[in-house]
């Protein structure tokens, strides 16, 4: 895990995102501290820990004090994150968790579906960022319907910008669909690439794959601002 993260950082990755799930399918608890130690040698890189804040997540945040905590609503039985927060239901129980994380010195990002009204609720909670769940866009792209698929994300990102909230994006983004997304959706601050990056690394190698994603983000994020 540490070796792979170092390869990514040496290739120019802007940060490392981990998801320490209770079932340990992504990283093990011991990996969190080891990766935090590695990141100390790369002061310009960001450490982002994502997970459900009601599943021992705060223990990791308290231990390593990452730059960003991305809160996702996945349950222990979920295979992967497959939806954003329902803030009409979950806002009250998230509010104290968000304040606790912010007191640790971390930025808070909420994982949400593309919906301007959800961004408005996120703003009322005082978070610095939201992360747009991009699986529905990726599915539309695969059906050759990318333009329609990206429309909700454009509207959501524009509303976030009006509210002073930065926007991240992640889930099922790939070398094929990332450029179009970034060229259309304004003001994306960062993207998280997981499964596709590892799949591409089987063909191109990990370092070269990171460089290919960076080339897409550097070209398209700049043009969309």
Residue-level pLDDT at 221: 65
The reported pLDDT for the residue numbered 32 is 93
Question: Which pLDDT belongs to residue 220?
Answer: 78
- Note the pLDDT of residue 81: 62
Give the mean pLDDT of the chain: 92
CATH number, domain at 50? Answer: 3.20.20.70
DSSP string, the chain: -HHHHHHHHHTT-SEEEE---TT-SS--HHHHHHHHHHHTT-TTSEEEEEE-TTTTHHHHHHHH--SEEEE----TT-SS--S---HHHHHHHHHHHHHHHHHTT-EEEEEE-S-HHHHHHHHHTT-SEEEEE-HHHHHHHHTT-HHHHHHHHHHHHHHHHHHT-EEEEESS--TTTHHHHHHHSTTEEEEE--HHHHHHHHHH-HHHHHHHHHHHHHHHHHHH-
pLDDT value of position 60? 92
Domain that holds residue 147: 2-224
The catalytic residue positions are 19, 50, 171
Confidence of residue 80 (pLDDT cuts 50, 70, 90): low
pLDDT, mean of residues 34-49? 96
* pLDDT at residue 225, as a whole number: 39
Contact assessment for residue 17 and residue 192, using Cβ atoms and an 8 Å cutoff:
yes
Q: For residue 23, what are the contacts with CB-CB under 8 A and spacing of at least 6?
A: 76
Q: What is the pLDDT of residues 11-33, one digit of tens each?
A: 999 999 999 877 776 788 889 99
Q: Tell me what pLDDT residue 77 has.
A: 54
pLDDT value at residue 41? 96
Mean pLDDT over residues 119-145, rounded?
97
- Output the DSSP codes for 85-96: --HHHHHHHHHH
Distance CA 138, CA 185 (A): 14
pLDDT score recorded for residue 223: 44
Q: HSE on the CB side for 16, CA within 13 Å?
A: 30
What's the pLDDT score for residue 83?
79
CB atoms within 10 A of CB 63: 14
Instruction: Check residue 141 and give its pLDDT.
Output: 97
- To the question of pTM greater than 0.75 for the whole model, the response is yes
- Paired tokens of 116: 């301007």
pLDDT in tens, 113-125: 999 999 999 999 9
Number of domains in the chain: 1
Q: Model confidence over 103-112: pLDDT tens digits?
A: 999 999 999 9
- Whose tokens are 């803030």? That residue is 87
First to last CA, the chain: 34
The CA-atom distances, in angstroms, between 74 and each of 109, 172, 197, 202 are 15, 16, 21, 28
- pLDDT tens digits, residue range 158-200? 999 999 999 999 999 999 999 999 999 999 999 999 889 999 9
Residue range 37-53: average pLDDT?
Answer: 95
């Amino acid at each position: 895990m540490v070796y792979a993260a170092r390869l990514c950082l040496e290739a120019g990755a802007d940060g490392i995102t981990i998801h320490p799930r209770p079932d340990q399918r992504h990283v093990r608890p011991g990996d969190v501290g080891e990766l935090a130690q590695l990141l100390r040698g790369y002061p310009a890189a960001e450490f982002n820990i994502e997970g459900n804040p009601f599943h021992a997540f705060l223990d990791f945040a308290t231990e390593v004090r990452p730059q960003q905590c991305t809160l996702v609503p996945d349950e222990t039985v979920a295979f992967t994150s497959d939806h954003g927060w329902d803030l009409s239901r979950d806002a009250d129980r998230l509010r104290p968790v968000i304040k606790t994380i912010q007191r640790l010195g971390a930025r808070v990002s909420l994982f949400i579906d593309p919906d301007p009204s959800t961004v408005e609720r996120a703003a009322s909670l005082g978070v610095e960022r939201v992360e747009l769940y991009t699986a529905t866009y990726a599915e539309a792209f695969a059906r050759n319907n990318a333009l329609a698929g990206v429309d909700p994300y454009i509207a959501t990102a524009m509303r976030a910008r009006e509210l002073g909230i930065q926007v991240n994006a992640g889930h099922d983004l790939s070398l094929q669909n990332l450029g179009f997304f970034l060229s259309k959706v304004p003001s994306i601050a960062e993207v998280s690439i997981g499964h596709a990056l590892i799949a591409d690394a089987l063909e191109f190698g990990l370092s070269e794959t990171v460089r290919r994603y960076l080339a897409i983000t550097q070209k398209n994020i700049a043009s969309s601002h």
